[in-house]
Amino acid sequence: MSALDRLAAGAPGVFSLPPEPLRALSGVRLDACAFVGVAPRGPARVPLVDNTPEHGDDWRMCDPLRPRQRSVAIQVDSFDAYRRRFGAFEGPGLLPYAVASFFEQGGREAWIVRIVHADPPGAPGDGVAHGLLPALQGSPRLLARNEGSWGNGLRVELALRCRALLATPLPPSSRVLQLSAGTGLPVGSLLRLRLDDGSQALRFVSAVDSVGDAQAPRRWLRAELESATPRPIVGAELVEAELSLQDGAGAGERFAALGLHRAHPRWMATVLCRESELVWPDFAWAGDRLLPATPMRLDEPQRSAPFAGGADRWQAITHEDFFDPGWGPLAEQAASGLQALATLQAVTQIVLPDLYQAAPLPPQADVSDASLAGPDFAPCVELPAVPPTPENASELPGLALDPRQPADLARITELLLRVQDFVETTRNHIALLDVPPGLQPRQVLALRSHFNSAYCALYHPWPLIARDDDGRAALVELPPAAAAAGIVAACELERGIAQGPANRLVLGAVKLRQQVSPAEHALLHPQGINVLLQEPAGIRLSAARSLSLDPAWRQLSVRRLMLMLRRTLLEQMQWAAFEPHTPALRRQLVHLLTALLRRLYRFGSFKGATEEQAFFVQCDDSLNPPWRVDNGQLLAHIGVAPTEPLEFIVLQLSRAGDGTLTLESA
Residue 610 three-state SS? coil
Task: Give the type of residue at 528.
Answer: G
Q: Counting beta carbons within 10 angstroms of the beta carbon of residue 157, is it exposed (0 to 12), middle (13 to 18) or buried (19 or more)? A: middle
Q: Which of 20-24, 171-175, 460-464 has the highest mean pLDDT?
A: 460-464
Q: pLDDT grade, residue 535 (50/70/90)?
A: very high
Q: What is the pLDDT of residue 537?
A: 93
Nearest in space to 35 (alpha carbons), one of 633, 509, 481: 481
- Is 305 within 8 Å of 290 (Cβ atoms)? no
Q: What is the pLDDT of residue 168?
A: 85
CA distance 226 to 264: 14
Choice between 411 and 61, residue whose per-residue pLDDT is larger: 411
- Starting at the edge strand found earlier in the chain, the sheet holding 33-37 runs 73-76, 110-114, 33-37, 349-351, 430-434, 456-460, 529-535, 538-541, 504-505
What rounded mean pLDDT belongs to the chain? Answer: 87
CA distance 77 to 79: 7
Instruction: Report CA 572 to chain centroid distance, whole Å.
Output: 24
Beta strands in 167-322 (DSSP E): 167-169, 176-180, 190-195, 200-211, 220-225, 233-246, 252-258, 279-281, 302-303
How many alpha carbons lie under 13 Å from residue 61 in its C-beta half-sphere?
Answer: 25
Nearest in space to 283 (alpha carbons), one of 46, 119, 61, 47: 61
484-499 mean pLDDT: 94
Instruction: Report CA 662 to chain centroid distance, whole Å.
Output: 55
Whether 310 has a pLDDT exceeding 70, the answer reads: yes
Strands 456-460 and 529-535: parallel
Which CA distances in Å does 109 have to 19, 432, 477?
A: 34, 16, 23
Percentage of residues in the chain with pLDDT exceeding 90? 64
Q: What is the DSSP letter of 437?
A: T
Whether 392 has a pLDDT exceeding 50, the answer reads: no
Nearest in space to 430 (alpha carbons), one of 562, 568, 561, 560: 560
CA distance 500 to 557: 5
Whether 594 has a pLDDT exceeding 80, the answer reads: yes
Per-residue pLDDT tens over the stretch 332-348? 778 899 999 999 999 99
Q: What is the pLDDT of residue 391?
A: 42
Whether 51 has a pLDDT exceeding 80, the answer reads: no
Q: pLDDT grade, residue 390 (50/70/90)?
A: very low
- Is 64 within 8 Å of 331 (Cβ atoms)? no
Which pTM does this prediction carry?
Answer: 0.87
- Is 473 within 8 Å of 363 (Cβ atoms)? yes
Per-residue pLDDT tens over the stretch 427-447? 999 999 999 999 999 999 999
Give the DSSP H/E element, type plus range, for residue 563.
helix 556-572
Angle CA 608–611–614, to nearest 5: 45
Beta strands in 413-479 (DSSP E): 430-434, 456-460, 463-465, 476-477
Please provide the distance, in angstroms rounded to a whole number, between the alpha carbons at the two ends of the chain: 59
Percentage of residues in the chain with pLDDT exceeding 70? 86
Q: What is the pLDDT of residue 7?
A: 59
Q: What is the pLDDT of residue 9?
A: 64
CA distance 481 to 556: 13
467-482 mean pLDDT: 91
Q: Backbone phi, then psi, for 397, in 5-degree steps?
A: -65, -25
Q: What is the pLDDT of residue 380?
A: 64
Nearest in space to 515 (alpha carbons), one of 449, 457, 460: 460
Can you list the domains of the chain with their CATH numbers? 28-57+79-122+314-325+335-364+393-572 (3.40.50.11780), 130-303 (no CATH), 574-666 (no CATH)
- Is 155 within 8 Å of 306 (Cβ atoms)? yes
Angle CA 254–259–265, to nearest 5: 100
- Is 245 within 8 Å of 279 (Cβ atoms)? yes
Choice between 464 and 209, residue whose per-residue pLDDT is larger: 464
Q: Mean pLDDT check: name the lowest of 322-336, 359-373, 405-419.
A: 359-373
- Is 262 within 8 Å of 55 (Cβ atoms)? no
Whether 387 has a pLDDT exceeding 70, the answer reads: no
Which CA distances in Å does 369 have to 366, 373, 377?
A: 8, 11, 19
A 10 A CB-CB count for 132 gives 15
Q: Mean pLDDT check: name the lowest of 23-32, 86-95, 657-666.
A: 657-666
Whether 367 has a pLDDT exceeding 50, the answer reads: no
Bond from prior residue into 461 cis (ω within 30 degrees of 0): yes
Q: pLDDT grade, residue 329 (50/70/90)?
A: confident
CA distance 133 to 527: 61
Task: Give the type of residue at 520.
Answer: E
